[in-house]
């Protein structure tokens, strides 16, 4: 193969596949090009998935509460229970789960969640820990046929680079969504797929939502609960619309980072690289067995908060009711890598979150959007976060470094094709592989499946972003932590801090 421009670009692969992949472990032996890798902690998880039974050593210490999972939900739980004798276990070498803050030579960017959309729980928590959110104040644009169209579902509908009949189709769809009484039809619309509401419209309308859906709730129109789109249109295109979104240059990973800093005084009870393999109810408590530094250890607790994805939870919690296991089996997750293109010059600064139908990635966010106009700020690096949700059957691609590099290369290729101005080489491309970060908002999940999946056991309580719904969000993870902590305190008379 001849040498190309791309051969001189540094590619970095990071992030975990996490448990539950329906992939044969032999795939891990596949050769690949030498690429820097960080944080690929999934071997123990795959053993759990494959039914391996780990030994359960006797408990060596007792805690008030063990929190399993160090993403935003687990960190929030620890923060609320910081006066308790807690133990927080996280299998990765960093806090934040799938959404943590990264930097390149001091420039911050996101590896996951991008913004908060007016949710009070997330905003209040941010303020309390000294991290006030900054306003986005920019309606989403789109790049279509090489043209950037600002405010897609507002004034942008008059400027879409399509024939007039296609623009009219977009407008008719918007008006039909605005006319729906979402409150009265909430249960019905949660159970009906969006595709039924797209019949009779131009195929470009479907293409746009098939781009938006996987990025936001893990599903295209065939599998999306229709109520989600009705809510989005009424919020972003209604008469009283207001962009309520706020964020930070490091995305919502900034919240996780700040929480870990606030909890620094308790660092002896916050263990990274600790993979939980069993949670076993006892007569008067719960035993938790985890692997760390190649050794198994068991601790006892009055109660346990599982701030892990439900498909992992169901594999390690013993004694779970069958109805709950059945509900969890109905929750599906997509692989969702995130690719950051790092430039040392301005390349794209037209909008905060821009949709790109017809490409391998769905949308682009500009990392420093909320600080770019602050007095004295000068953009040294233009870091673009490309969200790249994948189909479930593509998950095996992320297991190898070579597969990840191919995905990142395709993202760069598609981005450079969007506009002649984009045909610039970045100084670095970073891909964060995430095997199961987002549950799919399938019809019926929000009202019927999630409430059963999160039902507390006697001394085991369930948090994580896949507990609340209808969409997997940072705010949902925080809400889940508040609920699980309250359930725990009722059963154990614990000390609860409120935000």
pLDDT of residue 294: 86
* Structure tokens that stand for 14 in this block: 């990071």
Q: How many CB atoms lie within 10 A of CB 33?
A: 10
pLDDT of residue 405: 93
**Dihedral angle over CA of 254, 257, 262, 266, nearest 10:** 160
CA distance 76 to 70: 9
Alpha helices in 81-146 (DSSP H): 120-128
* Structure tokens that stand for 364 in this block: 């682009």
**Dihedral angle over CA of 322, 323, 328, 330, nearest 10:** 120
pLDDT of residue 276: 95
pLDDT of residue 110: 87
pLDDT of residue 99: 87
Task: Give the three-class secondary structure for 286.
Answer: strand
Of the candidates 123, 57, 105, 62, the one whose C-alpha atom is nearest the C-alpha of residue 87 is 62
Phi-psi region of 457 (alpha: psi -120 to 50; beta: other; left: phi over 0): beta
Q: Which residues does the chain have with pLDDT short of 70?
A: 1-7, 16-54, 494-499
What's the full length of the chain, in residues? 499
Of the candidates 95, 360, 362, 46, the one whose C-alpha atom is nearest the C-alpha of residue 252 is 95
pLDDT of residue 436: 85
pTM of the predicted model as reported, rounded to 2 decimal places: 0.90
pLDDT of residue 1: 37
CA distance 247 to 287: 38
Q: What is the CA radius of gyration of the chain?
A: 22
Of the candidates 109, 100, 56, the one whose C-alpha atom is nearest the C-alpha of residue 296 is 56
């Amino acid at each position: 193969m001849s040498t190309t421009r791309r051969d001189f670009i540094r590619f970095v692969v990071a992030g975990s596949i996490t448990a539950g992949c329906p992939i044969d472990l032999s795939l891990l032996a596949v050769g690949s090009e030498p690429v820097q890798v960080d944080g690929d902690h999934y071997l123990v998880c795959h053993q759990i998935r494959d039914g391996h039974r780990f030994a359960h050593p006797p408990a060596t210490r007792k805690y008030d509460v063990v929190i399993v999972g160090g993403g935003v939900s687990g960190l929030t739980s620890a923060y609320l229970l910081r006066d308790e004798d807690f133990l927080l276990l996280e299998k990765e070498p960093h806090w934040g789960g799938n959404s943590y803050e990264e930097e390149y030579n001091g420039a911050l960017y996101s590896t996951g969640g991008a913004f908060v959309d007016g949710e009070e729980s997330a905003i209040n928590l941010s303020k309390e820990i000294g991290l006030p959110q900054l306003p986005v104040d920019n309606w989403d644009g789109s790049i279509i046929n090489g043209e950037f169209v600002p405010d897609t579902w507002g004034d942008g509908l008059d400027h879409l680079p399509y024939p007039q009949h296609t623009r009219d189709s977009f407008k008719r769809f918007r008006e039909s969504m605005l006319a729906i009484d979402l409150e009265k039809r909430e249960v019905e619309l949660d159970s009906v797929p969006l595709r039924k509401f797209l019949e009779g419209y131009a195929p470009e309308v479907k293409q746009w939502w098939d781009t938006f859906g996987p990025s936001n709730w893990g599903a295209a129109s065939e599998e999306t609960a229709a109520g989600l789109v009705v809510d989005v249109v009424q919020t972003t295109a209604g008469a009283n619309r207001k962009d309520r979104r706020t964020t930070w240059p490091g995305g919502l990973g900034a919240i996780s980072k700040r929480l870990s800093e606030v909890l620094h005084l308790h660092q002896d009870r916050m263990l990274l690289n600790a993979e939980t393999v069993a949670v076993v109810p006892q007569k008067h408590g719960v035993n938790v067995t985890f692997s760390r530094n190649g050794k198994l250890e068991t601790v006892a607790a009055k109660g346990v908060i599982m701030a892990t994805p439900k498909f992992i939870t169901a594999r390690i919690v013993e004694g779970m009711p069958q109805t709950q296991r059945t509900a969890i089996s109905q929750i599906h997750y997509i692989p969702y890598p995130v690719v950051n293109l790092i430039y040392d010059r301005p390349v794209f600064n037209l909008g905060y979150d821009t949709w790109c139908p017809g490409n391998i990635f769905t949308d682009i966010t500009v990392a420093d959007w909320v600080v770019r106009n602050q007095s004295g700020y000068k953009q040294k690096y233009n870091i673009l976060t490309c969200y790249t949700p994948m189909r479930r059957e593509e998950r095996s691609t992320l297991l190898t470094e070579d597969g990840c590099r191919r995905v990142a290369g395709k993202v760069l290729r598609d981005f450079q094709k969007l506009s002649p101005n984009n045909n610039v080489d970045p100084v670095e491309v970073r891909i964060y592989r995430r095997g199961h970060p987002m549950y799919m908002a399938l019809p019926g999940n929000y009202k019927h499946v999630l409430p059963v999946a999160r039902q507390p056991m006697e001394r085991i309580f369930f948090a994580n972003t896949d507990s609340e719904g209808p969409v997997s969000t940072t705010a949902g993870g925080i809400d889940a932590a508040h609920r699980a902590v309250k359930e725990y305190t009722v059963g154990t008379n614990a000390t609860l801090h409120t935000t």
